[in-house]
Structure 1
């Protein structure tokens, strides 16, 4: 009986810890971590801008970013960066300081997503994803829900 209790407790612990620790499986970086990584080993960058209130962003997190092939491609080929567009954080990146000048207003979008995923003449919208090459130049921008299959196609090119 004692052995069964130990096994059951071990299995229960694994079931509790695995989903929380694995979450999406993508090794998301912050912009400060990205700066350090790019210095050591340049590679393409995938940036996902999101907000907690964005239903398409939440759906992508629950579906597309948990698909094993999406996880593999992002972790093997890219530095994957995720940023809450309403972040109040001051971020130093590329020798520049970026802040959220719009805190306290409606739609307080941080400077970084406005610069990287803003579109001339159109309001900022989510979800927003940006692909960058090794020189940190934007090669593609996406402003809609992308399924796992669509992401796989984009990330495989």
Structure 2
């Protein structure tokens, strides 16, 4: 009796559709980071030679839980994605990556003693935190904004830099007159 019940259950489950497994695998496995067209630093540097606009760097680590939340909730947001693609050169940078990189003629390497890439230390002025959104304004120094940013928090900062207000309007003043649209 038990055996026939077991076979009935097996028959039912083996005939049932498996929509999650049969779904379009490209969409099923897509992460938020794939929705935003991330560039390499080399591509961003080449882009700057053609068109001047700020570079936005998502500084992350593979073990960082809040980095994954920001990928999923902020960088997955259609307003964030559209605005970043239009106004910035977006770069995703692993703060613990081992590949040497060159930025404006200066070479940065993985720092084995700190277990962190020297470029991450440079971008954050040594104040490492993950995730960190770093914006390098046109002809400016890196501006690091540590911590998770929800889309509405991200909007304020992205538009401050994307509209070219950085260096011209004090942030406090901009923030007071800012009207969120996302």
TM over 0.5: yes
Q: List aligned pairs for 1:132-143, cutoff 5 A.
A: 132-138=136-142, 140-143=143-146
| Counterpart in the other structure of 1:112 | 119
Distance 1:85 1:135, change over 3 A: same
Higher relative contact order (CA 8 A, sep 6+): 1
Offset, 1:62? 1.0
Of 123, 127, 131, 2:131 maps to 127
1:17 corresponds, among 26, 40, 62, to 26
Give the gaps of 5 or more residues in structure 2: 1-21, 161-182
Q: Secondary structure at the match of 1:151?
A: helix
CA-based RMSD: 1.9
Which runs of at least 4 in structure 1 moved beyond 3 Å after TM superposition? 18-24
* Structure 2 residue aligned with 1:156: 159
Shift of 1:26: 1.2
1:53–1:82 CA distance, 2 compared to 1 (3 A): same
- Higher Cα radius of gyration: 2
* Deviation (angstroms), 1:49: 0.5
CA shift in 2, pair 1:23/1:65, >3 Å: closer
C-alpha separation between the residues in 2 aligned to 1:56 and 1:27?
A: 20
CA shift in 2, pair 1:27/1:136, >3 Å: farther
Aligned pairs for 1:92-111 within 5 A: 92-102=102-112, 105=113, 108-111=115-118
Counterpart among 48, 51, 54 of residue 44 in structure 1: 54
